[in-house]
Amino acid sequence: MQQIEQLGGWEAAVFERVANAETQAAIAQSYGISQVFLSRLIKKDAEWTRAFREAKKAAATHYAEEAMSSLRANDPDVRTARRLHSCRCGEAVTAVSR
């Protein structure tokens, strides 16, 4: 875990990567640890758990905005785009809350 500290701590080394939609498995692999071990480390500290959830919400928001942008570019019917956006946001929120 020295690598994480050397890279600026958990905020820069882990949570920013999560917010940028990088998977927990990919992050763990880059440090030579398992996803399960990384998950356990995060869950051991309430602040890390909160930061991880916030990062996941940021990633979900990014996906939702990307979906809306794509829909606007390809669908002239704004009502359809809004309906699809609300469905996708609901899915993203459900995924984050698990």
Query: Can you give the pLDDT at residue 12?
Result: 72
Instruction: Go through 32-42 and write b for each residue having 16 or more CB atoms within 10 A of its CB, e for each that does not.
Output: ebeeeebeebb
Residues 6+ apart with CB under 8 A from 25: 35
Structural domains in the chain (count): 1
Please report the pLDDT score of residue 29 as a whole number.
92
| Pairwise CA distance, residues 31 & 33, whole Å | 6
Residue 68 has pLDDT above 70, yes or no: yes
Residue 59 tokens read as 């990633």
**Which range of residues forms the domain containing residue 10?**
2-97
What angle do helix axes 35-44 and 46-74 make, rounded to 10 degrees?
Answer: 120
Please tell me the predicted confidence (pLDDT) of residue 13. 77
